[in-house]
Chain A
């Protein structure tokens, strides 16, 4: 569904992505792993068109995304830190996003809004919200339009355990609906139940790409975190 070919991106001296190639098929839940500053977020942002690569190609449904914007109708994105116009209330933000994505004719998925209890906070202004609540808004927004692809950048960071669980359940549910889900996270333990494939990125390059099951069997570990640690040590 998403194919990245020979993607390179530099930020002045730093090479964030170094000729990386990978592809994410439909119906998978993919974990993008790697140490801090390895280029995960850059890769995600490149896919979203927020970062413009120096060279290489990104295809979405076999079409190059360069200069395009409509393909983003099929993506729900939850940023690492979601910030919104300070003076808007939560309902303003939802209304605005609904308004802007009106062309998207799908049914709205408001499950997360309910589960997070955002309904009761609808009239609060964004600047009064805690970091966790903002994350909830970001998550609810990402799922709201029933997109084919969900890109979640550190989704559970800052969420309380209950919400974190609801989000995980939601991710699993959507995976079953045949959606492509891209997750980056530092907290590997959270990904155990979710992901089907693991991409490990290091210094802008793809270090390895394995199915979770293969990874676990290869290393003989049950926990993703341990499996990854083991394979990294082995290399």
Chain B
């Protein structure tokens, strides 16, 4: 398994897109920190990039990579290797190289300009989002053998998690404005990994405002370390469950 992982990583790292992605992130982070009037504002601008760009790049790159590796996967499957090892190695290769790209491109600038708890939390959520969206991409790529459909599905999933889901929640909030919704809101946030990550950052940056929200559940949940822990567990579940489902599909897939 480690051997496959090694070759996947070497292959991805050689891929120019990951390099371009790293430099793009580096360029954005550095310019954001240098152009904004304060490091905190820079961090805020970076937040949007992390929440939007990272899922997008990760899901599309991973989907395309899986499709482009179809023959390579085929070659591997014909070798005395377990399918599970192959799939997990692909996942491992994608996550580790994309995480590395994120860390070099965004993590290091954050550490240079804003090395406090908020910054570290930002890096942690960026890394988690990378892992989760690679997982989701692998699931999407396993859904259909048609590359165009698969990429379409990925883009839709990205759009869903970054925009449509929240729009629906907002709509829902106004429809049921007269009901106590705090419990539901906490629950809903777990249905979207981007929301989970966003709330992690909210807990760091906007805790003063969050605490203004009436509601014991909310405060209990987010007012202490448990909220952070649970959110990360939620993100972990997203990654693990998507990966397991994709693995199940891959195990039954004809190549």
* Residues of A bordering B, CB below 8 Å: 9, 11, 45, 48-52, 69-73, 75, 77, 79, 81-88, 92, 96-97, 99-104
- Chain B residues within 8 Å of chain A by Cβ, number: 25
Q: Judging by beta carbons under 8 Å apart, are B7 and A45 in contact?
A: no
Interface flag for B80 (CB, 8 Å): yes
Q: Which of B68, B74, B75, B83 has the most CB of A within 10 A?
A: B75
Q: Judging by beta carbons under 8 Å apart, are B80 and A70 in contact?
A: yes
Q: Judging by beta carbons under 8 Å apart, are A103 and B77 in contact?
A: no
B3: A residues at CB distance < 8 A: 96, 99-100, 102
B80: A residues at CB distance < 8 A: 69-73, 100-101, 103-104
Q: Judging by beta carbons under 8 Å apart, are A87 and B78 in contact?
A: no
Q: Judging by beta carbons under 8 Å apart, are B7 and A79 in contact?
A: no
CA distance A102 to B79 in the complex (A): 12
CA distance A103 to B83 in the complex (A): 17
CA distance A72 to B113 in the complex (A): 53
Listed by A's residue number, 16 A-B pairs whose Cβ atoms lie within 8 Å are: A45-B254, A50-B255, A51-B254, A52-B252, A79-B74, A79-B75, A81-B71, A83-B75, A84-B72, A85-B72, A88-B11, A92-B10, A96-B3, A96-B7, A99-B3, A99-B7
Expressed in whole angstroms, the minimum distance between the Cβ of A140 and any Cβ of chain B is: 13
Expressed in whole angstroms, the minimum distance between the Cβ of A17 and any Cβ of chain B is: 11
Q: Pick the contact of B254: A50, A83, A103 (CB < 8 A).
A: A50
Interface flag for B186 (CB, 8 Å): no
Q: Pick the contact of B79: A45, A82, A86, A100 (CB < 8 A).
A: A100
B83: A residues at CB distance < 8 A: 69
Knowing A83-B71, A85-B11, the reply to whether A97 touches B255 (Cβ < 8 A) is no
Q: Judging by beta carbons under 8 Å apart, are B78 and A52 in contact?
A: no
Q: Mark B59-75, 1 if CB is under 8 A from A, else 0.
A: 00000000011011011
Interface flag for B108 (CB, 8 Å): no
Interface flag for B167 (CB, 8 Å): no
Q: Judging by beta carbons under 8 Å apart, are B71 and A87 in contact?
A: no
B11: A residues at CB distance < 8 A: 85, 87-88
A52: B residues at CB distance < 8 A: 252-254
CA distance A48 to B252 in the complex (A): 14
Q: Judging by beta carbons under 8 Å apart, are A69 and B82 in contact?
A: yes
Chain A residue at minimum C-beta to C-beta distance from B13: A87
A50: B residues at CB distance < 8 A: 74, 77-78, 254-255
Q: Judging by beta carbons under 8 Å apart, are A79 and B15 in contact?
A: no
Expressed in whole angstroms, the minimum distance between the Cβ of B48 and any Cβ of chain A is: 33
A103: B residues at CB distance < 8 A: 80
A96: B residues at CB distance < 8 A: 3, 7
Expressed in whole angstroms, the minimum distance between the Cβ of B82 and any Cβ of chain A is: 5
Q: Mark B76-120, 1 if CB is under 8 A from A, else 0.
A: 111111110000000000000000000000000000000000000
Q: Judging by beta carbons under 8 Å apart, are B255 and A45 in contact?
A: yes
CA distance A188 to B187 in the complex (A): 65
A77: B residues at CB distance < 8 A: 78
Chain B residue at minimum C-beta to C-beta distance from A125: B14
Interface flag for B4 (CB, 8 Å): yes
CA distance A48 to B83 in the complex (A): 12
Expressed in whole angstroms, the minimum distance between the Cβ of B189 and any Cβ of chain A is: 39
